[in-house]
Structure 1
Amino acid sequence: MSRERSWQAFSTSSMDLRTSFPRSMRFKLEGYVHLARMIDKCRAVLAGTEGEYIYPCPMDFRLMEFAGITHEQFTAAVETNPTDEGVAKWFRGAAKPHQQAELDEWNETMLRRGPSTPEKQAYFNKCRDAVDPSRTDLTAWSDLQDLEEGRPVPRRSP
């Protein structure tokens, strides 16, 4: 079965990550990278269909910390709002406000974030090499996720 989904399908309350992928971390919702992906993973956990995906993961916690919310609050919001629009409305009201420049900087930091320890680097390399060992240009988790999930990832300059 193909794990491709149309973007319109993401406004439903269920998400089966055993047969599809969450949205890319790069997909912005309310101006935040990773928010849509976190919604997809949370929906899958609530439905018991998360497969190998983890919610809440370290990237999820980074977003929640930046927004000033807890994973319990976020999970409850996703559970009671079956659409992205409903979760986004809740998030707008619950997240601590940030100046656009601060949000832009945070988004870029998230997208550039790579392994922070030798052990995590070894894991990153193992995952990357399982998909495409020629992609030694990749250093960010966001690129690795897109590569693993079959999205195009441009070659990066050294």
Structure 2
Amino acid sequence: MSTQINAPDLTQRPPRSMRVRLGGYAILPRMLDKCRATIVGKNGEFHYNCPLDQHVINFLGFDPEALKTEVAKGLGDGEILEWLQANSKHKRAPWEINQWSDYHDRRGPDSDAETLGYFAEAVAKFTKTREDIRTWPDLLDLDDYVTFGGKA
């Protein structure tokens, strides 16, 4: 019996923004989009279990391969959220989830020269005039938009 996975085609459009939340968790919907697309071979240049995904994995304390196995069963976002709540090592209170997600919504590059330089170069690939790109979510949203045909 074949399981039907409703996976986005990330060769045609980007995954959800890291600002989109599921169960209060930022980043998680984007991670699930990349996981589903990876399972069906439609992830394009997007990578599941990347450094961004590691923030969710470490905060909750779960095995990304075990999550991938559950996602491969064709479960929806709500079912995956239930699985995560039952199978994560770190049980988080709503206030912790909210603070963690708010932090990631506002997280910019660290103040070391190497990270600031990387961030500035990444923004410059898309635009020389936009001064509003200050956080990692800003940069990812811009990257996704421009990569799929938008103008910075």
**Percent of aligned positions that are identical:** 34
1:112 and 1:146 map into 2 onto residues whose CA distance is 13
Determine which structure has greater relative contact order: mean sequence separation of CA pairs < 8 Å that are 6+ residues apart, divided by chain length: 2
Residue type of the partner of 1:134?
T
TM-score by length of 1: 0.78
1:53 and 1:61 map into 2 onto residues whose CA distance is 14
Q: CA RMSD in A?
A: 1.9
Q: Displacement of 1:93 after TM fit?
A: 1.8
Aligned match for 1:42, one of 35, 41, 44 = 35
State how many pairs are aligned. 140
Q: Are positions 1:68 and 2:68 aligned together?
A: no
Residue type of the partner of 1:13?
N
Which residue pairs with 2:135 in the alignment? 140
Aligned match for 2:101, one of 93, 104, 107 = 107
Note if contact 1:30-1:92 (Cα within 8 Å) is conserved in structure 2. no
Gaps of 5+ in 1: 1-11, 152-158
Aligned match for 1:29, one of 22, 32, 50 = 22
Q: Are positions 1:52 and 2:45 aligned together?
A: yes
Q: Which moved more, 1:82-91 or 1:49-58?
A: 82-91
TM-score by length of 2: 0.81
Aligned match for 2:92, one of 80, 85, 98 = 98
